Structure 1
Amino acid sequence: MADENEFEGASPQIAARLASLAGKRGLLVEDHPLNTEIARKLLEREKMLVEDTANGKEAVERFEASETGYYDAILMDIRMPVMNGLDAAKAIRALPRPDAATVPIIAMTANAFDEDVKTTLESGMNAHLSKPIEPNVMYDTLSRFIK
């Protein structure tokens, strides 16, 4: 858990955001190494604990093998080899465990048209972030969904 003193001097809004993400576990699903590195650094800057996988199949397997409630959020690319993010989100939502229906799944994609956003939400994802990722938009989105 985050130490309240480390938020001293920060605005109440930023301090609340930092506190809400610190110590939370995220599963980062991204096939491009540079995008993985950038997203990981952004998440770790907010003191999140990050694990990553390179495709949707690995993400489903990792989630399925984890303890219930282990991941606080999943950030998932859409276009990946082996299994894309849309199919992975559907597969996670279909798993017979309580957190499969509730874990926040957030799309990270260059596809930003209204139809793309609609498709991600229909797949069971909770939100849609457009690449390149805006750090504050990502943090605010995570803060909205992580409890």
Structure 2
Amino acid sequence: MLEYKNITCVTAANGIEAIQLLINGEFFDTILMDYHMPILSGLETIDKMKEIFKQNNRTVPLVVLHTSSEEHDVISAFRKNENSHC
């Protein structure tokens, strides 16, 4: 859907690939993360990404995609983080 609107997208098959993109120097305006990801969950991946951002003195808006029935406590805690959206 984003490409249909001419928005350039980069995809990762799992959290490890997503983290590797950042380690390799990729920069993104926004990160959309699925809550359910193979290997690392979306929230675990985001925690690791935030460590990378902190080391590089950067911030990137993060958006977690989830269903309304998923772990409300976890999602609520995530929403309290600056630049984090669901």
Same fold, judged at TM 0.5 (above) = yes
Task: Compute the TM-score of the two structures, normalised by the length of structure 1.
Answer: 0.49
Give the CA deviation at 1:98: 2.1
Opposite residue 43 of structure 1, the aligned amino acid is L
Q: Quote the residue 2:12 is aligned against.
A: 53
Give the CA deviation at 1:64: 1.8
Say yes or no: does 1:92 pair with 2:67. no
Aligned length: 83
Measure the CA separation in 2 of the matches of 1:78 and 1:92.
14
Preserved CA contact (<8 Å) 2:60 2:83:
no
Point out the structure with the larger helix share: 1
Q: Quote the residue 2:85 is aligned against.
A: 127
Measure the CA separation in 2 of the matches of 1:111 and 1:83.
20
Summarize the Cα distance change of 1:111–1:52 in structure 2 as closer, same or farther, 3 Å threshold. same
- Superposed, 1:132-147 pairs within 5 Å as none
Give the CA deviation at 1:66: 2.0
Q: Quote the residue 1:104 is aligned against.
A: 61
For structure 1, the residue ranges without an aligned partner over 5 or more in a row are 1-41, 129-147
2:39 is paired with a residue of what secondary structure?
A: coil
For structure 2, the residue ranges without an aligned partner over 5 or more in a row are none
Give the CA deviation at 1:61: 1.0
Preserved CA contact (<8 Å) 1:89 1:124:
no
2:2 is paired with a residue of what secondary structure?
A: helix
Kindly, what percent of the aligned residue pairs are identical? Answer: 24
The C-alpha deviation readout for 1:87-136, integer Å capped at 9, x for no partner, is 1111011111122xx111100112446434314335776100xxxxxxxx
Preserved CA contact (<8 Å) 1:78 1:85:
yes
The C-alpha deviation readout for 1:10-58, integer Å capped at 9, x for no partner, is xxxxxxxxxxxxxxxxxxxxxxxxxxxxxxxx11122111010111111
Q: State the Cα RMSD in Å.
A: 2.2
1:51 is paired with a residue of what secondary structure?
A: coil
Preserved CA contact (<8 Å) 1:105 1:125:
yes
Say yes or no: does 1:73 pair with 2:30. yes
